[in-house]
Amino acid sequence: MSRAASPGSSSSLLTQPFGTLSALIRAHAAERPTHPALMQDARQLDYAALDQWMDRIAARLQREGLGRGTAIAICAAPSLEYAAVFLGALRAGVAVAPLAPSSTPESLAAMAGDADARLFFADAEVVALLAPVRSTIAAPFIALDNGSTSARGFAEWLGAEPVQATQAQVEPSDPFNIIYSSGTTGAPKGIVQSHAMRWVHVQRAEVYEYGPQATTLLATPLYSNTTLVSFAPSMAYGGNVVLMPKFDVRGYLELAQRHRVTHTMLVPVQYQRLLAAPEFGRYDLSSFRVKMCTSAPFAAALKADILARWPGGLVEVYGMTEGGGATVLAAHEFPRKLHTVGKPAPGHDIRLIDDAGREVGPGEVGEVVGRSPGMMSGYHKKPDQTAQAEWFDAEGRRFIRTGDVGRFDEDGFLILLDRKKDMIISGGFNIYPSDLESVLRGHIAVAEVAVVGVPSARWGETPVAFVVTVPGTTVTPAALLEWANGRLGKIQRLACVEVVPHLPRSGIGKVLKRELRQEFLTRSGAVL
């Protein structure tokens, strides 16, 4: 981008203090109309076709009175239609609330209402799921896959006439999307991300080699910020995005090899499953330049395995959908720092505070708070919860609280200890579940593990471990308990180990510890 660029070109737009993804896609359509933009299975859209589709969608929304200050909801598996509706809505100045199909019907109805969605785009499966609560959703349904008999089909809604939408005059503070939290901590909250925040995400992605020659394989859902922080830059820099509606190991590896994929964004459990597959080494993955990871704890041993067996760089990004500060670990550059989540990203201010809101000293443990150019506007319609998520320094500058506990090492790399809410206080001592999980992962029979605190008559709280064993191995819970407690400190010792078939996870791989704790208490019926 150091070369001279004509005004209005994609390279010129990317240097501006503020711009829109919609304008960039229009520029790519003019510069490289036949370059592939989106692929799904055997279907493909080039940039000219995508731009035209966005125009038609935006114009249709505008004819229905939608524009700046309005919102739509989308709830479906990833598809060309999903991506085009999302991008077309942005062109019309409409905010998008992408919802998780894995949510309950009641939750989806509540989120659509909270977002004030004027239209609800869904696939046939979601339309059927929502049948029991349909009367509680004010927005008309549009079936993206045209496969529902109880909702208007997307093709019929869109119409056949070619049109060009009126480009909305989007302001930096206008909402780009409203992303609802996964519900791992209770009722989902709508996180409002502005166009300015997304523009920051786009511009900072240049260092990760996005560009017209990049092919990004997306195997996480489009309702997730994890996916959008890779999807938006891929489109912004004129690359090709391959959409995978549902992740599976063999399907992912076949797509990566066939399309000569250069970029991907995966969550740790996906990396784990890919590398554990016997066929992993039989696929040619030499085209990869950058693999990224975020959203969940990323074990150092897994990072090391990826570096050893999968070509290309590995970048871990630690941050929140709410924004604030982020840290970045280029694992291929710092192989001795794999136990950390890296250093603060350029222009990001990361600090640690104690329970009283005071900054802690060097090397001390505290809650992570962050500030950067990319921060949420707030929680939708929830000013009190927005205020609870904020911390202000002595100069009155706004930071976002993460709820994570960590410390900086002597080189300025951040070491995460745990979620503050997951920390166990047993007999007055702080126990970090991640420490116990790390020990248990050292057992040859342990594939996955989660440790939670449960009520204890003697200690207040006590740790319980839930373990998924490696296929083909046999170990009893009692043997695991004895093995782990023999390696843990006296105050860390586990009260119980349960072997389970799988750990409950959100759509982007976060372990739902709240569910584990509740199921355990329901079964035990009493404190330990």
Measure Cα distances from 65 to 92, 98, 138 in Å: 10, 20, 16
Domain positions in the chain are 10-179, 423-524
Residue 527 confidence (pLDDT) above 70: no
Residue 188 confidence (pLDDT) above 90: no
Q: Provide the 10 A C-beta neighbour count for residue 487.
A: 13
DSSP string computed for 59-108: HHHHHTT--TT-EEEEESS--HHHHHHHHHHHHTT-EEEE--TTS-HHHH
Confidence band (pLDDT; 50, 70, 90) for 490?
A: confident
For 414-436, the pLDDT digits (tens) are 999 888 888 898 887 889 899 89
Residue 202 confidence (pLDDT) above 90: yes
Rounded to a whole number of angstroms, the CA Rg of the chain reads 23
Element (H, E) at 271: helix 268-276
Average pLDDT, the chain: 93
Report d(CA 316, CA 341) in Å as an integer: 7
Question: Could you say which of 3.40.50.2300, 3.30.300.30, 3.40.50.150, 3.30.70.100 is the CATH number of the domain covering 423-524?
Answer: 3.30.300.30
pLDDT the model gives residue 477:
96
For 308-353, the pLDDT digits (tens) are 999 999 999 999 999 999 999 999 999 999 999 999 999 999 999 9
Confidence band (pLDDT; 50, 70, 90) for 182?
A: low
Q: Per-residue pLDDT averaged across 266-289, rounded?
A: 95
Confidence band (pLDDT; 50, 70, 90) for 525?
A: low
User: CA geometry: angle at 475 spanning 471 and 480, to 5°?
Assistant: 120
Residue 43 confidence (pLDDT) above 80: yes
For 64-86, the pLDDT digits (tens) are 999 999 999 999 999 999 999 99
Residues 6+ apart with CB under 8 A from 220: 226, 227, 247, 265, 266, 267, 270, 507, 508
For 425-470, the pLDDT digits (tens) are 888 788 989 989 999 999 999 999 999 999 988 888 899 999 999 9
Instruction: Specify the CATH number of the domain 10-179.
Output: 3.40.50.980
Fold match, 10-179 / 423-524: no
The pTM for the full model equals 0.87
